[in-house]
Structure 1
Amino acid sequence: MAHIFIGVGSSINRRENIRLGVQALQQTFGELNLSNVYESEAVGFEGGHFYNLVVELTSDLPIEEVIKQLKAIEIQLGRPLKAVKFAPRTLDLDLLLYDDVIDNSLDLPRAEITLNAFVLKPLAELAPRLLHPVLQLSYHTLWAQYPADKQKLWKVDSPVIAKSQSSS
């Protein structure tokens, strides 16, 4: 069983699309462990704020099939097939980690882990002791070293996702 982490984000109808995205991930992969949901400003373009979280799961599926399933869920929930990278989105599902696989052609581990607070903070919350496969530093350490003024991030206090969808 592969240990997998997926970044989930939405800036269009955020609450509903995050809820539906997590629900679809649960239907596809089974039991999930969810980070808290965080709100952040758009990165790379002018736009509305995003909701983001990280999902942890295990699966027997190979990497390519996991990626295929993530893209299918995005499309099912209204993301255009040829979506522009820096633009508002209904749902963004990014494979962050697949075990300790290092594969530059698949962007594994995903570069955004160390670049964006909205990825690193929830990942550090779920897996503080897990080591980044390339840097060999824990996600707790990486978050502690992240510049506090680089990106604004707010924990979403009101429930976005029903507790029954999370194992935490």
Structure 2
Amino acid sequence: MSAWVGIGANLGDAHANVLDALDRLAWVPGVRLLRASSLYRTAPIDSSGADYVNAVAELDTSLSPRALLAALHGIEQAHGRERPYRNAPRTLDLDLLLYDDEVIADAPALLVPHPRMHERAFVLAPLAELAPGLAIPGRGRVADLLPGVADQAIERLR
């Protein structure tokens, strides 16, 4: 199955944390890292703290959505991820954005497509770099959604 993962960090060495997350994704049994976007810098949304470093990864996986989410949470925990409150600054955040073309509504644990991905430049810009024609179920193509977040500052780092 095809899966897309959003990666972000704004505590500690955010740049290194995002790169390490990509390395760790490649080592998860049942997961093959196909490609990753450039890194991007964005300001926090609905929060405070330092700017985020973000990226998106495309995976091929034999894991179920729940098993993949558990693996993502394990990588976050390896980076000391804490969840003191909604949108708190974080050492690492891994979001399951898409899992094939499935719509999964097992709230609050698993919602796919990610419920706010179509509203976030830090998701859409990296996705557009890799797959502008990718369709987000119920929302449309990534390239068509990108103009709707043009007011959100985002800077490509590499």
Match of 1:64 in 2: 66
Matching of residue 148 in structure 1 with residue 147 in structure 2 = no
Matching of residue 37 in structure 1 with residue 36 in structure 2 = no
Shift of 1:32: 3.0
Q: Report if the CA contact (8 A) 2:104-2:113 is conserved.
A: yes
Q: Determine the C-alpha separation between the residues in 2 that align with 1:147 and 1:117.
A: 5
Query: Gapped runs of 5+ residues in structure 1?
Result: 158-168
Look up the equivalent residue of 1:27 and give its one-letter code. W
Query: Gapped runs of 5+ residues in structure 2?
Result: none
Aligned ranges 1:119-158 → 2 under 5 Å: 119-135=123-139, 137-143=140-146, 145-149=147-151, 151-157=152-158
Q: Determine the C-alpha separation between the residues in 2 that align with 1:132 and 1:17.
A: 27
After superposing the two structures, state which structure 1 stretch, 48-57 or 21-30, moved more.
21-30
After the TM superposition, which parts of structure 1 deviate over 4 Å for at least 4 consecutive aligned residues? none
Look up the equivalent residue of 2:145 and give its one-letter code. L
1:30 aligned counterpart, secondary structure: strand
Higher strand share: 2
Q: Which has the higher contact order (CA 8 A, sep 6+)?
A: 1
Q: Report if the CA contact (8 A) 1:44-1:86 is conserved.
A: yes
Aligned length: 152
Match of 1:84 in 2: 85
Aligned ranges 1:108-127 → 2 under 5 Å: 108-127=112-131
Q: Determine the C-alpha separation between the residues in 2 that align with 1:67 and 1:55.
A: 14
- What's the TM-score, normalizing by structure 1? 0.85
Identity between Structure 1 and Structure 2 (%): 34
